[in-house]
Amino acid sequence: MTDTRYTALVLAASRGNQDPLALAGGVSHKCFIDIAGQPMLRRVVASVWDSGRVHRIIVQIEQDSMDEAKEILRPLGIDDRLVFTPSSTSIGASVFAAVEAFPDAMPLIITTGDNALHTGPLVQYFCDELDKSDADGALGMTRAEVVLAEYPEGNRAFHRFRDGGYSSCNLYAFLTPEGVKGAAVFNGGGQFGKKPKKLIGAFGLVAFLIYKSRLTKLPTFLRFLSRGLQFKTAAILIPYAVGPIDVDRQVDWDLANRIVAEREKKT
């Protein structure tokens, strides 16, 4: 392992007080719902910190939820490593805001406040693989067969290519100033797996047609995107079945509770 230490950006914006999971959980914010005895946001931040690869964590959350988030994270004992900033309108805007507010944020890894199943080793693996990459930006992905072999009920949205299906782990990295410019592709909100037509606005019609054809392998498709975006992007293949399972619906919440409870029984 190298001496590189990353800044981590945790995107914890919610859909407001009408978020179905927040309402079901009786909390003010989706990221505060309980996952096997702990608030989800605490589990996400703990996984990033436990990786041993970050020196600072920026939590972006709504201003009126910030004080409660601080209280939720205080038991981790890393207050001196946490920074809180107001959430922005999209992933792209959030990245730009973080880099503007913290010019020394690079290299930057990004996760989301509903990645409740990520663990320290998973995040460490991602960062260790980033150390070997010469890309400007990267995204964590897990092969469909890895997910479905362990969690066939996971019901993920898979990107289909000639070399198989992949699902995003909602884990990203921007490693150079050129890479940060690429965050603009997320200004429309991302979720390309669930809503493939968003690729048209982010990357153009040709990219969308190539994607839908399934005639290229994932690395080839990313090289094509890299040429158009003028920065090099790469996929980090994460061999953890839980990587792509975020908590966005009741069925995900139920699954996350079961997985974490079973995991913690073994420790």
Considering only CA atoms, give the Rg of the chain: 18
Spatial CA neighbour of 113 closest among 19, 248, 255: 248
Residue 91 placed within a domain: yes
Count of the separate structural domains present in the chain: 1
**What is the rounded average pLDDT for all residues in the chain?**
86
CATH number of the domain that residue 87 is part of: 3.90.550.10
Whether 49 is in a domain gets the answer yes
pLDDT of residue 98: 86
Could you tell me if 101 and 93 are in contact, meaning their C-beta atoms sit under 8 angstroms apart?
no
Q: Give the span between the Cα atoms of 43 and 198, in whole angstroms.
A: 30
Helix (H, G, I), strand (E, B) or coil at 19: coil
Reported for 30-38, long-range contacts at CB under 8 A and 24+ positions apart, including other chains, are 30/113, 30/114, 31/61, 31/69, 31/113, 31/114, 32/65, 32/68, 32/69, 32/72, 33/247, 33/253, 35/116, 35/247, 35/253, 35/256, 35/257, 35/260, 36/256, 36/257, 36/260, 36/261, 36/264
Q: Which residue has the tokens 């884990």?
A: 171
Distance CA 189, CA 13 (A): 12
Residue that wins the pLDDT comparison between 37 and 98: 37
Q: Please indicate, yes or no, if residue 1 is contained in any of the structural domains.
A: no
- Tokens standing for residue 22: 């927040």
Strand, helix or coil for residue 59: strand
Q: What is the mean pLDDT of residues 52-67?
A: 96
Q: In this predicted structure, what is the pLDDT of residue 190?
A: 46
> Which has more confidence, 123 or 193?
123
For 191-248, write each residue's pLDDT tens digit.
Answer: 444 455 555 455 556 666 776 777 789 888 888 777 777 788 899 999 999 999 999 8
Domain that holds residue 91: 6-265
Task: Say what the pLDDT of residue 232 is.
Answer: 87
Look up the pTM and report it: 0.88
Domain assignment present for 100: yes
Among the listed ranges 91-100, 120-129, 192-201, which one has the minimum average pLDDT value?
192-201
In a domain, 223, yes or no: yes
Span 49-72, average pLDDT: 96
Higher pLDDT, 95 or 44: 44
pLDDT at 189: 45
Confidence check: pLDDT of 159 > 90: no
Q: Which residue has the higher pLDDT, 136 or 199?
A: 136
Q: Is pLDDT of 75 > 90?
A: yes
